[in-house]
Amino acid sequence: MKKATRKEIQEIHKRFVERYSDAVTELKYKNAYELVIAVALSAQCTDKRVNIIAPPLFEKYPSTKELAVAELDDVKKLINSCSFFNNKAKNIIKMAQRVEEVYGGEIPMDEKELQTLAGVGQKTAHVVMIEYLGANLMAVDTHVFRVAHRLGLSDDKTAIATEATLVKKFKNDLHALHQGMVLFGRYICTAKNPKCDECFLTDLCKSKEGFKV
């Protein structure tokens, strides 16, 4: 597959920022605590599903203080329609415990500090900071990975490597580009039967012949 030229990269950047400059996550949350949990739950689970299961969880455990002393089985029951709910239940309780013990009940808005929390890796930390702070960071999920490859922006084999490539090529407005690429991949440049007739990047697409990504 051909790689995008520097001029094409600039044009892709411009179009995404113009269209998605005000884009935000589709996860519903009221504060940093709810956002971290919602993002953690969304791993390999749809935002729609998280938005269904999260409100009862937040109602019963409105902050890290309550969640830190929650019964594991109760949390499992509340999120059991989410993928990998056993591990996620353990992690969000451990996360709450660390936030209480180390950060006084306040979610740390720092990339390295966030990654000390159970279940929070680089991607989750970046998504949280992009959404909450508008941080100039990139995070690569399945949608961003697919879009980046179809547009010839990356031929990397992993999400982490793809993220580094996108940061290097785009540099600025990364928060808008991340949100835009997620929504574009979710609703237009879909894995199966992409809606090419609705696409605003068809002239820049490198995958018209196959859609193998």
Q: Which residues are catalytic?
A: 123, 141
Residues 1 and 209: their CA atoms lie apart, in Å, by: 10
CA within 13 Å, CB half, 162: 24
CA torsion sign for 10, 16, 18, 21 is negative
**In this structure, are residues 20 and 176 in contact, taking their beta carbons and an 8 Å threshold?**
yes
The pair of three-digit structure tokens given for residue 83, joined into one six-digit string: 């993928």
Q: What are phi and psi of 19, to 5 degrees?
A: -85, -35
